Amino acid sequence: MDEDDPGEKESELSDDVSDLDGEDSDGYRPGGYHPIAIGDELRNGRYVVIEKLGWGHFSTVWLVEDTSNHKFCALKVQKSAPHYTDAALDEIELLRHAGKMRKKNNGACRLVQLLDNFEEKGPHGRHICMVFELLGANLLSVIRKSEYRGLSISTVRNLTLQLCQGLDFLHGECGIIHTDLKPENILLKTPGKKIRAQLDARKKNHADPEKKKTRATKSNCTKFEC
């Protein structure tokens, strides 16, 4: 959703208040999550892990820096069981197809961009990884911040218009039907300068040599349906 949305002021990166616990540590086993620590490097050092953004039943999501262009991205690391791998490969195929159909119109820009994908081998198996453009908070976290009092009519209209534009692009241009529409799967677009300032500060904090790597298997992060 555009950065000029009235609800955009709510989209502080990873500062969203959530009462959801992190993923269960039992999920870190063969067929499950890939163990990742702050400061880890993936894809031969190209992506450096800055912090954890969220998690879902299928995957965990991490804030990373792409050292090839010094941009920040969202890295989704899928569980390694075969059915999770198949689901990830299907997702990649759909996103690639949508990317090929992408045009400079309102509908195409409402769809998150897949920037890269690769495979990461670890102690729990083979994990499909997807790199996405970095966006802001999901709509559910904004609703929670309002204490479920609801959003303004103008905001709801704006969000609904953009959502319909994205769906029209998927259905009309790409021939794809979205089957899982819900607030958790709708992300807001944070203004570039604002998020860059936040991330630069966080990167500097994580780069402190006095701080040890911490294994982040549980956290009070916003849960993304991954």
Catalytic annotation, residues:
180
Give yes or no for a contact between 225 and 179, defined as CB atoms under 8 angstroms apart.
no
- Element spanning 199, H or E: helix 192-206
Report which residue type is found at 71.
Answer: K
Nearest 5°: the CA angle 189, 195, 196 is: 135
Q: Rounded CA gap, 176 and 168, in Å? A: 10
Report which residue type is found at 141.
Answer: S
- Element spanning 134, H or E: none
Residue with tokens 């959703």: 1
Residue closest to 173 by CA, chosen among 219, 115, 86, 106: 106
Alpha-carbon distance values, 31 to 14, 23, 85, 150, 217 (Å): 27, 15, 10, 39, 16
Beta bridge partners of 41: 48
Output the six-digit token pair for 161: 């218009």
Output the six-digit token pair for 171: 């259905």
